[in-house]
């Protein structure tokens, strides 16, 4: 799993809030809407980058603030990192929209999902709960069985939600129409429970032996 990357310190403002929204359909490509709230007075032209790993690719990138389009561009591919820039025109709230080609692939009877985020060349002054949030709508009957960020919450809207105090480079997870019996968190929990039961059993046997 990719680690979190802190946004690099840069002049021209800071990121205040980021939200990702996506909906998985029948195909492999996933449309993404990424909403930003930044410090007013951020630099007019702000650098951005994506990581295209594990076969995913960013296509159809556009940007807007309200109904007004913003100029955004990506340089041609020359490696896993796609770099580009966006001209904010003084906007403090704006959206990026793009399609993640190959963002959802079949894995057994489930799905493996990888959704890259645009990393803006703006500062994060402090980490805090809710700095990053996301809502991903899964196909009917599917649920997240493991991935990053961990501990997702199923919302009343039917989407799966995450919150983080940092902005990740990816949202990546596995989804299945059946509850997974042996996900890593469950394996760890089961191991702890088994250890406690074993210690307790040995303690009972020792106590009986001493009292005999």
pLDDT 10s digits, 48-100:
999 999 899 999 999 999 999 999 999 998 899 999 999 999 899 999 999 99
The confidence score (pLDDT) of residue 196 equals: 41
**DSSP characters over the chain:** -PPP-PPPP-SS-BEEEEEEEEE--SSS-EEEEEEEEE-TT--SEEEEEEE--TT-EEEEEEEEETTEEE-EEEPPPSSSEEEEEEE-TT-SEEEEEEEEET-EEEETTEEEEEEE--EES-B-----TTSEEEEEEPPTT-EEEEEES-S-EE-TTSEEEEEESS--SEEEEEEESS--S--HHHHHHHHHHHHHHHHHHHHHHHHHHHH-
What's the pLDDT band for 188 if we cut at 50, 70, 90? very low
What's the pLDDT band for 13 if we cut at 50, 70, 90? confident
Mean pLDDT of 185-212: 44
In percent, the amount of the chain with pLDDT more than 70 equals: 78
The confidence score (pLDDT) of residue 153 equals: 85
The confidence score (pLDDT) of residue 91 equals: 92
pTM of the model: 0.77
């Amino acid at each position: 799993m990719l680690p979190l990357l802190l946004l690099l310190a840069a002049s021209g403002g800071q990121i205040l809030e980021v939200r990702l929204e996506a909906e998985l359909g029948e195909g492999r490509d996933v449309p993404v809407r990424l909403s930003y709230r930044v410090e007013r007075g951020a630099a007019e032209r702000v650098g951005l980058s994506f990581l295209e790993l594990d076969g995913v690719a960013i296509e159809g990138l556009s940007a807007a603030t309200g109904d007004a389009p913003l100029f955004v561009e990506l340089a041609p591919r020359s490696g896993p990192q796609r770099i580009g820039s966006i001209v904010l025109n003084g906007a403090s709230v704006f959206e990026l929209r793009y399609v993640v080609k190959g963002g959802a692939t079949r894995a057994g009877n489930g799905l493996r999902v990888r959704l890259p985020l645009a990393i803006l060349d703006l500062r994060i002054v402090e980490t805090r709960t809710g700095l990053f949030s996301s809502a991903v709508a899964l196909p009917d009957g599917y649920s997240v069985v493991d991935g990053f960020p961990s501990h997702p919450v199923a919302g009343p809207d039917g989407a799966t939600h995450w919150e983080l105090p940092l902005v990740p480079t990816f949202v990546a997870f596995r989804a299945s129409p059946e509850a997974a019996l042996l996900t890593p968190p469950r394996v760890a929990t089961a191991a702890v429970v088994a250890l406690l039961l074993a210690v307790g059993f040995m303690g009972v046997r020792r106590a009986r032996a001493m009292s005999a």
